[in-house]
Structure 1
């Protein structure tokens, strides 16, 4: 039974929960600061009801900073890609442990108001909404785990209000730009790299991780199975793909197939020229000696060709957006585009490229009118 008492101008409650099996002392829950007695009584009844239904969780006194370090080391970093650990560790240390007003607060006392104030602090610090969203995702996962570990009874992130991601104006090439770029890059050793980017929409890492065993020449398709990524202290390595949907099959045209065959013959020439120094890793895109191609060299070639072709300067990843925009303009179904790009959900594709979709609402009124007129045999029009 809860004991309610008045201290000064406010009320507090005390609830005995159990005895310590070693010391024999009673463990109690105390909370004060209620301006009205009935508010203290209501809060105490809620605790007692949770205890009766075995739902009560004794609030943890663990400091947020201590919890986050333990959560990240023992749980989180083992469940994300190696390529992500470094960037997430930076967010943890800079933003969640140091530049955070509630870093030294007990995890059970952190409120939704604290979380929203933290987001506002980062917004005022001119951090992008997408970057703040990454902090939000980490916090959401950490507090969800705290609930599972029975350190807190609820997640304050559930009702928090992170800033919406602002999608800036997308930089893409027109069909004329694509043709000008390809005409200029033809003959360069990275010609096939850009053919694959433009005609398949593959990510740069996926292209540089592509092997000849991934090419099905009979069925005319590419199997995307891995990606080339940079790991600090380990250099460039092949890693698993971003999501399950990233591992996909991409149908290719006869033109792309022919370019692959031409490039394969070119590689055979490299092998003969280099001899025993050639390191055969079965890579489609590689150096003249067969080793992994540094992505920075691809970027340098792209900048040079962009300048020579006199087309707008875009990032390599924007070629992927260009690929999608061409398919959208040609009326390809958004689900098919999503599968081709390897998005985890067609909703992501739709939200990202919605502004490129043609406005099909203009004919809705006529469609409705024609349906009604057809169903009524034109009788309504005669009245």
Structure 2
């Protein structure tokens, strides 16, 4: 005889909707610490039952579960501590947390996640775009300035920061869609103003040669030469170099984190992890660099920090990627060149390669971009000279010619 299974208290309920989908509901521990009823959906009874069972099991283990009835403040706190922390790199999580604390919670804290509308988003972003942040964050009262003394400094967020705040909110709300808490992500229906990227003047080929000549006596000459030819360098270890085959393996990047200080971390994307060929000039410079580093180790003696990076301080410590490079500035001054950042050497590399006619897909592989579109969009503004050359070539082809009109047409050259 078949016996119907008796549903235990707290197991949740599962039933079929009029549209054919299955819906399951149950009570869980919400982000605000109270017990709330949540609903999940599935194309089959088993799928819906498994989803609600997983949420109830997490709740019984004391894990908070985000619900659509949560306020934005409670939900973002839950999302940062229970979801994003397992998916983001530490530095990215730190930036997300600062964005949530400074902008999202103050602007949207009391609103219910399920009741957020596109109008709410636009109103919030417009207010963020026009509000003095010195006043919004209470710095005027703390330092007795700005609005506190009746002289607002109008310190507004840049367009890129507003876009970043919007992207963090989109990422957070996307989790509610994946968890079947909301049918759609309303933040995706709002478009932010496209910000203009920082204007950058890359080094020309002549300026790059001038810079390398001025930096020839610098102890980090090999670093600058490789930066102008390749890219990510501070995460290189000595064992990553194979001077016999003239290659280097890019496996990690050096970053400063809040908890670990200067730390070797995996590359940001799979495309960033790669093996690259080294130019002959770089091989000579790297051999000289390793010999100089060995001499510095002997000179430093017991004060030498036995670190593994290829490029270090004179006492063996890692170079901080977040700090300016005084030797770089000195070399630029000796060369009579404008001041640039160390990362701008990487941008100059791509620009020089483009001007030499190297295909975008090759530059993408060399510099480790995840998508070729990044290469095209970032460096499109430095290709004016190439565009002029192309237009001049077309004008020459369409201009008057002394050729005999009876001559057969020449075959087109396809590049």
1:157 aligns with 2:154: no
Contact 2:68-2:176 within 8 A present in 1 as well: no
Aligned residue for 1:152, secondary structure, equals: coil
Aligned residue for 1:230, secondary structure, equals: strand
Contact 1:229-1:238 within 8 A present in 2 as well: yes
Residue 173 of structure 2 is matched in structure 1 by 143
Contact 2:256-2:322 within 8 A present in 1 as well: no
* d(CA) in 2 for partners of 1:281, 1:207: 15
1:109 aligns with 2:109: no
Aligned-residue offset at 1:366: 9.3
Aligned-residue offset at 1:298: 5.4
Aligned residue for 2:358, secondary structure, equals: coil
When residues 364 and 237 of structure 1 are mapped into structure 2, their CA distance, relative to the original with a 3 A threshold, is: same
- Alignment partner of 2:76 out of 68, 73, 76: 68
When residues 55 and 353 of structure 1 are mapped into structure 2, their CA distance, relative to the original with a 3 A threshold, is: farther
1:220 aligns with 2:246: yes
Residue 42 of structure 1 is matched in structure 2 by none
* d(CA) in 2 for partners of 1:86, 1:197: 28
Residue 309 of structure 1 is matched in structure 2 by 335
When residues 338 and 270 of structure 1 are mapped into structure 2, their CA distance, relative to the original with a 3 A threshold, is: same
- 1:1-383 equivalence runs, <5 A: 51-54=18-21, 60-98=68-106, 100=107, 102-125=108-131, 126-200=156-230, 202=231, 206-295=232-321, 299-357=325-383, 358-359=386-387, 360=390
Deviations, residues 100-127 of structure 1 (Å, cap 9, x unaligned)? 1x32111111011111222222222432
Contact 1:192-1:263 within 8 A present in 2 as well: yes
Unmatched 5+ residue regions in structure 2?
1-7, 10-15, 24-38, 41-66, 132-155, 399-407, 410-415
After the TM superposition, which of the residue ranges 151-160 and 323-332 deviates more from structure 2? 151-160
Kindly report the root-mean-square deviation, in angstroms, between the aligned alpha carbons of the 2 structures: 2.9
When residues 365 and 107 of structure 1 are mapped into structure 2, their CA distance, relative to the original with a 3 A threshold, is: farther
* d(CA) in 2 for partners of 1:89, 1:211: 32
* d(CA) in 2 for partners of 1:181, 1:312: 10
When residues 88 and 179 of structure 1 are mapped into structure 2, their CA distance, relative to the original with a 3 A threshold, is: same
Contact 2:256-2:320 within 8 A present in 1 as well: no
* d(CA) in 1 for partners of 2:185, 2:336: 53
* d(CA) in 1 for partners of 2:323, 2:80: 35
Aligned residue for 2:325, secondary structure, equals: helix
Contact 1:211-1:283 within 8 A present in 2 as well: yes
Provide TM-score, normalisation by structure 1. 0.76
When residues 364 and 146 of structure 1 are mapped into structure 2, their CA distance, relative to the original with a 3 A threshold, is: farther
When residues 363 and 157 of structure 1 are mapped into structure 2, their CA distance, relative to the original with a 3 A threshold, is: farther
Aligned-residue offset at 1:184: 1.7
Aligned-residue offset at 1:146: 0.8
Residue 139 of structure 2 is matched in structure 1 by none
Provide TM-score, normalisation by structure 2. 0.70
Contact 2:221-2:285 within 8 A present in 1 as well: no
* d(CA) in 1 for partners of 2:128, 2:162: 7
* d(CA) in 2 for partners of 1:317, 1:353: 14
* d(CA) in 2 for partners of 1:274, 1:168: 41
Contact 2:237-2:308 within 8 A present in 1 as well: yes
Contact 1:190-1:298 within 8 A present in 2 as well: no
Unmatched 5+ residue regions in structure 1?
1-20, 23-48, 369-376, 379-383
Aligned residue for 2:262, secondary structure, equals: strand
Aligned residue for 1:239, secondary structure, equals: strand
Q: Which has the higher contact order (CA 8 A, sep 6+)?
A: 1
When residues 133 and 282 of structure 1 are mapped into structure 2, their CA distance, relative to the original with a 3 A threshold, is: same
